[in-house]
Amino acid sequence: MTLFDLVIRSMRKNIKHYYLYFFALILSVVLYFVFATLQYDSAILELSGTSMGTAFQAAGILLLFIAGIFVVYANSIFLKRRSREIGLYQLIGLTKRVVARLLIVENILLGVGALIIGIAVGLLVSRVFLLLLMKLIGYESFIEVSFSMAAVVQTILVFIGIFALTTIQMIVMVFRNTLLSLFNSDKAGEHPKKPKTGVSAFFGVFGLLLVGFGYWLSGRMLNELFFFNILIVLAAVIAGTYLLFRVTISWLLFKIRSRKEGHLGLLNSLSLAPLMHRLKGNANSLTVITILSAMTLTMVAFSYAMYYETERETDIRMPFDFMFDNNEAQANEIMGEMDQKGIGYQHGKVDMLVVPTMFEQGVFPGESFERPTAIISDKQLQAAGIDIAAPKDGSASYHDASSLSMFADSVDLPIKIEIQDEDRTTVEITKMGERNVINWSIFYGQLVVSDETYQSLKNKLSEMEGAKIEYIDGFHILEEKDQKTASAIFQQPKYTSSGPHVDYYSSYEESVQDNGLMIFIAGFLGLVFLISTGSILYFKQMTEAEQEKKSYVTLRQLGFTGKEIMKGIIRKQVFVFGLPLAIGLLHSIFAMKAASFFFQSDILMPATLAMGVYTLIYTAFAFLTIGYYRKTVNAAL
């Protein structure tokens, strides 16, 4: 019998084992090829310039690692399920070299088939993802999906590399394992050692304390050690999660079993006992799945939050549709152009006193530094169409939708801001505003005071060194349908000759594109990760179901019904799928809470929606696993 004949007979015999690994290969190829197709699509790159291409390249590298880990892990499960078969080949006289060649040929055939099918399917589903991306970035024109040979070549090269890894994995498995280890691989870890009570209790509690410390510190990160705090939180939560799975839960399960004095009963025998036997081997994978689930969920939730709040975030930074700074001539010229085109608008003039200021030490993290602040009359702002009123007690409200805004909620009001004149004049701030009152392009902090206070400060400080009076011409476009036309007028070269030149409409459109791209990439990577981890858990549970099949036969022969057996199995799946999901969700909640300082808007809605979708998809894998167990139990007799 030739090697090829042996390969064909082996693949026919093991079709049940092959389809899982083959499915993992095809799924990875499809997802990677779809992403590569979008990355090289010329229409998309022309639409958004090089920024989109760079973002896709960075995401493609991460996707490569996820796909590689998924395929390698699926292959390890595949090889473990075939370990007895590999042992039998050697037992009947085949050398390890021949067995390795057999597995390599099988892997090549599976790889070529997966590439052909995956690329073909990827071509069909690429349009769906393209339409979704176009919808997210607000592009409504019709775009055809173009066949990209570069995407095909890149996908083939990437998966040749992945197949090389799985081939090495197969060779190592054949040459490093003895016949005895091959025949007993499915029994590994089935005799757990009794944990040392004192040591286990210490590390179990220590794991919980590490996670709790990480949660506590996540709410106190905004200081001069911000980036160092991030590292500490990550280290504490990851280490604590590992100890939670490796020690704490194992110790608790042993305590439960010891209290039962060996009389576990049917339900505990089908749920608690298998968990104890395999928890040591599964601690690493459960920790990785939990941590990456939390990170992925946080990434998706915040990407959606940024997209969800694009309009509000733009409105916070830009109260005027556009404005001119110290350029009355251009303001008058653009009014004439808008009048000619019949564009309705509201125009307001605002003068402001710009002075160097410093906050009192300790108000914000880090050293206090001098920065220019624009003092503005609330009366003038109201006349210009900005709905704002200064505090009535003569104090001020401070507005700055920049990096300082993330600290606004943690400031204990009132605070004082000191003007750097000879008298060190101070102004008391009793309110931190949520939004700018002047478009961000002037780069000033904005101090809103009553008109009387403004005139008094203007008379006193206008002649001081470093002070200046600036004039703003602000415009509100009255009809939404005219915003695009007005933006095109404002963006003419004759108006863009000096300084930052931004308007509300173009800024909003750019943010929609950037945030739409971000949520697409985050969502795509999250989907890939979720499918990968869900499939890994599904494959592992299928393997365990095969290993426990003899136990189900014995239980059925003893008279237990399939429904009674399934109750214990369902309890086990609640733990296997539910615990990593629950801990991952808890981790992500605290991560979102820590990162919410970067957002002016409420992220509760997008975060809840992302968690809901994530939980729904993860639950689907749990039901698939339960369905497979039910088939196995029903077939036990």
Q: Is the pLDDT of residue 448 over 90?
A: yes
CA dihedral 440, 446, 448, 451 (to 10 degrees): -90
Which stretch of 83-92, 266-275, 411-420, 427-436 has the lowest confidence by average pLDDT?
Answer: 266-275
Per-residue pLDDT of 1-18, as tens digits, reads: 566 666 666 666 656 666
Identify the pLDDT of residue 563. 84
Specify whether the CB–CB gap between 436 and 399 falls below 8 A.
yes
pLDDT over 90 at 51, yes or no: no
Residue 48 has which token pair? 């958004």
Q: Are 174 and 103 in contact (CB under 8 A)?
A: yes
Examine the pLDDT at 498 and tell me if it is beyond 60. no
| pTM for the whole structure | 0.75
Q: How do residues 220-255 score in pLDDT, each as one tens digit?
A: 776 667 677 778 888 888 888 888 887 877 777 777
According to the model, what pLDDT value does residue 352 have? 92
Chain mean pLDDT for the chain: 80
188: helix, strand or coil: coil
- With a cut of 90, say whether residue 290 has pLDDT above it: no
Residue-wise pLDDT for 524-574, tens only, equals: 888 888 888 888 888 888 877 877 888 888 888 888 888 888 888 888 888
Q: Return d(Cα 198, Cα 7) in angstroms, integer.
A: 53
Tokens 């402001």 correspond to what residue? 352
pLDDT given for residue 382 in this prediction: 92
Direct distance between the N- and C-terminal alpha carbons of the chain, in angstroms, rounded to an integer:
36
604 to 363, 434, 457, 465, 582: CA distances (angstroms): 28, 18, 42, 47, 18
Contact predicate 68/153, CB 8 Å? no
Q: What pLDDT does residue 571 have?
A: 85
pLDDT score of 190: 47
How much of the chain exceeds pLDDT 90, in percent?
13
pLDDT of residue 1: 53
**Locus of tokens 């079993």:** 257
In tens, the pLDDT along 296-329 reads 888 887 787 778 778 888 888 899 999 998 888 8
pLDDT at 525: 84
- For residue 431, give the DSSP letter: E
pLDDT of residue 344: 93
Least confident stretch, 20-29, 405-414, 545-554: 405-414
Under the banding of pLDDT at 50, 70 and 90, the label for residue 79 is confident
Best-predicted range by mean pLDDT (85-89, 379-383, 441-445):
379-383
What's the confidence (pLDDT) of residue 229? 79
Q: What is the pLDDT of residues 338-365, one digit of tens each?
A: 999 999 999 999 999 999 998 877 666 6
- What is the tens place of the pLDDT at every residue in 565-596? 888 888 888 888 888 888 888 888 888 777 66
pLDDT of residue 115: 92
| Dihedral sign from CA coordinates of 68, 73, 79, 81 | negative
Alpha helices, H only, 137-246: 149-176, 179-183, 197-218, 226-243
Q: Where are the alpha helices (DSSP H) in 41-178?
A: 42-48, 50-81, 83-91, 96-136, 149-176
The reported pLDDT for the residue numbered 349 is 93
pLDDT digits (tens, 9 = 90+) for 613-637: 888 888 888 898 888 888 888 877 6
Q: What is the pLDDT of residues 31-49, one digit of tens each?
A: 888 888 877 764 555 555 5
